[in-house]
Chain A
Amino acid sequence: MNKRFLDHALLVLAVVTLLAVIAACAPAPTVAPPTAAPPPPTAVPAPTTAPAPVATKAPATAAPTAVPAAKYKEAPMLADLVKAGKLPPVDQRLPANPIVVEAAEIGQYGGIWRRGTLGPSDFNGIARVIDDALVIFSPDGGSVVNKYVESVTSTPDYKSWTVKLPKGAKWSNGDPFTTDDIMFWYKDALQNKDLMPSLPGWMQNKDGSLVEVKQVDDVTVQWNYKDPHTTFLFELANAEYGDKNIPCFLPSKFLKQFHVSYADKAALDKAVADAKFKTWAELFRIKISPYDTPERPGMAAWVAAPGSRISDQIFKLVRNPYFVGVDKAGNQLPYLDEVDLKFFADVNSLNLAAIAGELDEQERQVQLVNYPVLKETSQKTGKYNIYLWQSLGGADADVIFNQTYTKDPDIGTLLANKDFRIAMSYAINRKQIQDSAFLGTGEPRQPVPKKGHPYYPGDEYAYKYIDYNPTLAGQMLDKLGLDKKDSDGFRLFPSGKRVAIELSVVAVFGSYPDIAQLIAKDFQKVGIQLIVQIRERALHFSLRESNDLMAEMWNQDTAGFPFTGSTKYDVRSGIYGNITYGPLWYNWVKTGGKEGVEPPDYMKQMMQLVDHAKTVGPADQAKDAQQIMKLWVDNMVEIGTVGLTATDQGVVVVNAKMHNVPQNLTKDWPLRTPGNGRPETWFFTQ
């Protein structure tokens, strides 16, 4: 009797919901969404946020009364499950105050987002889609917004940061999402030597000690630094599974059964042996992974479908019925039912699928060379649109000379000479590179942030030394004592040896080998022989590490983040993923001056600026960043060629029926693009 009544009630609810969704989607401007108008997105939850460098925007938190109970709506597939009694109703699944996600349009439920990947090694492509962090970057990359948290606030001295979770939030399996999940990470992952042999930078105080994380209550947790720490929000936004880092929040209830401190020893040993592992830590690392362990509960909008893994031919992600986000009308997100990530063994077959319109939204692995054919097919068939997304600046191909090269003293001294580097910057015909290698996209520039960004040092730096002036370059080289030439027209060192520099190039970013050949021709015109050496990337990296590279071609993609992550502007970032301007400087810094070569003053000044910026508010941070950029360009550490092009995930194929995909999204790895474009709000129209 009771059950039947419930069934009827649910049916009525479902119908009402459906009608409400239809009403919400109707174009009539007079139909007000059933929820109260959302608070302005700039609302500041608490006065303590004011001094924060980038206040997280928290529309939902400011409106505890805004959303009446039983007014949330859900996807039909979930409504069916609720009706069948397999899932609690949507109001019980959502936190008391769900996180409202801004989007241009209110969407419709349903549909599968077909996307391509290059398989297990392309895992960061999935990290970018699910953007599985407590806070994430805004579409323009200029601020940090709440994803799974209600607020993040700091004390005025920036020493203590308080993270508040939404009350009643749940993991995708229904387990409560509480500060226990953060404390589990802090105590049992971060401080467990088997899992983390050393502490990540952001969890260390200046003296190297562990940052304190304090559980205040179920939903409140505090990060307490000994010194002011203003880059916390950036770091929190990247404290997720990107690069397979252990995220700072873990499904503790699920993972405890695989953790040596909690699990039953016999059962754990058996699980380790069954999985063919040798230690519990190996098993645990796999159980953390949302890509390899489908049963691992998640917080993201989509989680792995039962039994689906990244090594499958199609890795299926399905909607998380407990996702904490809703749209302005109170519809639980995501709109799309499923994300199907198809494994392409070859990047060209992925591109062919994109051209054929078989991928609904794709920017990763889409190659710039295919831009013309994509554009043409898009106009011919109308199946999809092509957007171009820009990065925060930097340069998409640049030449970096190793200023601590020691194998050949003549070369080493020359590369360390600033005037030589400036001369070589004048020798490059950037317009030609822009037109032929970047299909006219982007602009000739030095590797600094883009105009309008708070860290932009001004036109006089962005465009410094970029004029194509071989005459001037020749004169500067003459002054350096390289005024004699051999019969082939190449300059000679006073010792009589030809000036020949090897440029190591890895063919991973678009048309690097072609760009390198163009630059070699430019250099030849001013009498410098540039030997282009195309290398397999692992070999290139080994040579970079062993200080064997004279010069390399790479990109500058950390312009928006000169203080955090492995920024290329800080020689201390190390040579893993860093560029080769001074491997021996790095050794000097790392060994406290015992080994390597002492960095020049400007390099030390840059390090001080980075340290300073981590302790001050946004306005002063911007000043520090600009100063770093000025030093960077003045000393020509990295010769920029062309930047702001559509290379590297900038050519975007979007199904013509897909809505809410931003046309101008700022793309970058720290932003986890397209995650910062809020894919959970994307939807299809019929």
Chain B
Amino acid sequence: MLRFIVQRLLILPVLLILFSIIVFWLVQAPPGDFLTSYIANLASGGSSIREEQVEALRQQFGLDQPGYIRYVLWMEGLAKGDLGYSLEYQRPNAELIGERLVLTVLLALFAFAITWIVAVPAGIYSATHQNSLLDYAFALLNYVGVATPNFMLALILMWIAFAYMGINITGLFSPAYEQAPWSLERFVDLLKHIWVPGIVLGIAGTARLMRVMRANLLDELNKPYVVTARAKGMSEWALVLKYPVRLAINPLVSTIGWMLPQLFSGSLIVATVMNLPNIGPLLLRALTQRDMYLSGSILLIYCFLTIIGTLVSDILLALVDPRIRMEGV
């Protein structure tokens, strides 16, 4: 097991360099660069930039240099732990990502908690009470949950809140706490707002997770060991929770690792629609504005977390399920 982890860690730098090349190539693959989108942006805002200014900016942003030099410069910075400078924000990328990190992780954890707290018990109930009224009710909710794109759900909730309650539920804070330093009051204010995006982000995951849980558990419930245990007089709940649930939960555990990059990324579209101050809109904007060092940095961190996340999944799986412990590896 230890060898396996060490092996994975050793290969990490190689993978990262590979990814960095792909990421860098991707973020500057579309035609034009930051400056074209900058000029286009100004022109569509009614103004038009003068040519001498374009020259100055191109020089200032270092866009007059060939791609490989920019890549090398970027890598040089990364090696020193410097994520570079955002062309659009005119601030260090690390600072921009940093200030959004807490809320991003908090929101993702909240959504994650909703998903698991709802999905696992509901899945178990559905499986043990197959074809009951509640099972069908859950099933219906599931299909709706899976079929509705969550940004749509966000829009509907926003509209309902506005049309019937007269409030605008975008953002994560009331105006008074938006800029305030962290305090108990601010945290309470956050809790008042976080449930809407939390539900929106959690709901789709809930539906999927619940179906997986139900299906897996149904497979296990008819197996001879369950029948044997039941015949021996083991109480139903203790039996279900102790054996079949542990097996049925495996596929779910294997996806926990994937949560890591998700925690970081912030749900792109929902966050943009709901105006949440997390990393999602930052990445989207950076991509559309060709702010290549910012989008590149976020994507690279994303890649890094995906690799780590997969590793964490493997380790967790080995812990939960003794059958896949890699003793010999």
The chain A residues found within 8 Å of chain B, CB to CB, are 114, 119-122, 124-125, 195-201, 242-245, 276-277, 281-282, 285-286, 289, 292, 309, 311-314, 316, 340, 342-346, 348-349, 352-353, 355-356, 358, 506, 508-509, 536-542, 557, 565-566, 573-574, 576-578, 648-649, 668-669
Contacts and interface: CB of A to CB of B under 8 A. Distances in A.
A669 B46 contact: yes
B168 A358 contact: yes
B52 A506 contact: no
Contacts of B33: 538
A557 B60 CA distance: 29
B148 interface: no
Given A286-B90, A289-B90, A346-B273, A537 B50 contact: no
Contact of A541 (B39, B47, B271): B39
B119 to A, nearest CB: 29
A313 B54 CA distance: 28
A370 to B, nearest CB: 13
A346 B275 contact: yes
B49 A566 contact: yes
Contacts of A352: 158, 162, 168, 170
A199 B55 CA distance: 11
A309 B50 CA distance: 26
A122 B48 CA distance: 14
A388 B43 CA distance: 22
Given A124-B45, A349-B274, A557-B46, A314 B168 contact: no
What 8 A-B pairs are tightest by C-beta distance, nearest first?
A577-B48, A345-B281, A538-B32, A669-B46, A566-B48, A508-B44, A198-B52, A537-B40
A125 to B, nearest CB: 8
A344 B275 contact: yes
Contact of A243 (B32, B53, B175): B53
Given A276-B85, A313-B178, A344-B275, A285 B60 contact: yes
Contact of B42 (A281, A289, A577): A577
| Centre residue among B48, B51, B53, B162 by max chain A CB count within 10 A | B48
Contacts of B60: 281-282, 285
Contacts of B46: 124, 557, 648-649, 668-669
A576 B50 contact: yes
B208 interface: no
B226 to A, nearest CB: 50
B233 interface: no
27 contacts: A120-B89, A121-B285, A122-B45, A124-B46, A198-B55, A198-B56, A243-B42, A243-B50, A245-B50, A276-B82, A314-B179, A346-B272, A346-B275, A349-B273, A352-B162, A353-B168, A355-B162, A356-B166, A537-B44, A541-B43, A542-B36, A565-B48, A573-B48, A576-B48, A576-B49, A577-B43, A577-B49
A356 B164 CA distance: 12
| Chain B interface size range | 35 or more
B170 A349 contact: yes
B277 interface: yes
Interface string B228-271: 00000000000000000000000000000000000000000001
A242 B168 CA distance: 32
B90 A348 contact: no
A185 B38 CA distance: 25
Contacts of A120: 88-90
A289 B45 CA distance: 19
Interface in B112-167: 158, 162, 166-167
Nearest to B274: A349
Nearest to A353: B168
Given A509-B44, A649-B46, 20 more contacts: A196-B52, A198-B51, A200-B53, A245-B53, A311-B89, A313-B178, A314-B179, A343-B277, A344-B275, A345-B285, A349-B273, A349-B275, A356-B166, A506-B40, A537-B41, A538-B36, A542-B36, A576-B50, A577-B42, A668-B46
B96 interface: yes
B48 A345 contact: no
A345 B275 contact: yes
Contacts of A358: 168
B3 interface: no
Contact of B52 (A200, A244, A281, A346): A200
Nearest to A278: B62
B31 interface: yes
Interface in B277-308: 277, 281, 284-285, 289-290
A356 B167 contact: yes
A314 B275 CA distance: 13
Contact of B39 (A197, A340, A346, A576): A576
Contact of B51 (A195, A346, A574): A574
Contacts of A114: 175
Nearest to A291: B90
Contact of B54 (A242, A276, A542, A576): A576
Interface in B1-55: 30-33, 36-55
A154 to B, nearest CB: 24
B50 A201 contact: yes
Contacts of B40: 506, 508, 537-538, 540-541
A304 to B, nearest CB: 13
Interface string B168-212: 101000010011000000000000000000000000000000000
B91 A541 contact: no
